[in-house]
Amino acid sequence: MQLKSKFDCNQQVWYRFIGSKKLETKCYACDGDGNIVAKNDTKQTCRECYGHGHTTEWVRDVPVVQGPLTIGNIKIEYTSYSDRDDEFVNFGRQKESTKVEYMMYESGIGSGTVYPEDRLFGTKEEAERFVEEVG
């Protein structure tokens, strides 16, 4: 038996998940300048955007693509077990499952985030295209 992963160590990938996204909108009060000119020609910080020139809103539960991330660890877990009808019978059809997970240098190897293989993509375009189709 040969176990293979879709990606290799040190390969860059993109991660697709459902999360929050920051939307910035140009401030209507100062037209994106961050300042408002008073009647006496002095500039004052815009009270709508606090001088940022834009307002910020967070939208939840939207598809997000993160990357590039660099693979630093690959874990392949293969399980084979008997699909038996009775707990006292030691034989039966064999069920098999394979789970492949990755850890990235950017999020920590050994104690960081674990990324499932089905949410990783080889290119940013492929991940964004999948987001558009699903989300």
**DSSP calls for 19-59:** EEEEEEEE-TTTTTSSEEE-TTS-EEE-TTTTTSSEEEEEE
CA 101 – CA 34 distance, rounded (Å): 46
Residue-wise pLDDT tens digits, 90-114: 666 677 889 999 999 999 998 889 9
Task: Pull the structure tokens for residue 58.
Answer: 């967070």
Q: How large is the average pLDDT for residues 12-23?
A: 92
Per-residue pLDDT at 111: 84
What is the pLDDT confidence band of residue 135, given thresholds at 50, 70 and 90?
Answer: very low
Residue-wise pLDDT tens digits, 44-55: 999 999 999 999
Q: Are 83 and 97 a contacting pair, CB within 8 Å?
A: no
Higher pLDDT, 70 or 86: 70
Residue-wise pLDDT tens digits, 66-82: 999 999 999 999 987 76
Above 80 in pLDDT, residue 25?
Answer: yes
